[in-house]
A and B are shown apart, each in its own frame.
Chain A
């Protein structure tokens, strides 16, 4: 059975914006190559960390929401551990309410985006 998962990872602030995006893409590719379906991705940008990690006080946050069988997670986390650019990662399974919440959150964001673009047009 397929399950919904959500993973958040923090990239080092040493990277440039493009490099960070590229790194995020790499992990998305790992997921899709393993047969997972990406439902949603978010880029929170450079955020301040609540406490220093590896002597860094900021980091690029990325979130990926995907569906899969769960077997791809071991591989994904192995790749996270091997990659020096990753400061921290967290993968969780979304339960029933979590999944509805994730969809709702996504809806809100896309609405906000639409509003923004509309504003830009006006």
Chain B
């Protein structure tokens, strides 16, 4: 056996990271409607808090719009300010 050869008992699992993308840029959505609570539900966690960009992959430009829309939806009681088990 060659000295430098490295052998693994189990083949090392190679994780292929799926690249995140901004769904608004990809789909060409330009306006985020605050009246569409079902859609905005994708950007909050089960407590009704906004999810960070690092989880959703949204670009900064659209993250600002998402947060604006969610806040408007909360104001007119289409979405809760605080919730428990929203999903």
Contacts and interface: CB of A to CB of B under 8 A. Distances in A.
A10 interface: yes
Interface of B: 30-31, 33-35, 37, 72, 74-83
A90 B31 contact: no
Contact of A88 (B31, B33, B75, B82): B75
B78 A50 contact: yes
A59 B77 contact: yes
A50 B74 contact: yes
Given A90-B72, A92-B72, A101 B77 contact: no
| B33, B72, B76 interface centre (most CB from chain A within 10 Å) | B76
Contacts of B33: 101, 105
Given A98-B31, A101-B33, A51 B72 contact: no
Contact of A10 (B72, B76, B82): B76
A112 interface: no
Nearest to A44: B35
Contacts of A8: 35, 76
A49 interface: yes
A90 B30 contact: no
B31 A53 contact: no
Given A90-B72, A92-B72, A51 B80 contact: yes
A100 interface: yes
Given A8-B35, A88-B75, A50 B30 contact: no
Nearest to A57: B77
Nearest to B72: A90
Given A8-B35, A90-B72, A92-B72, A53 B77 contact: yes
B68 to A, nearest CB: 9
B60 to A, nearest CB: 17
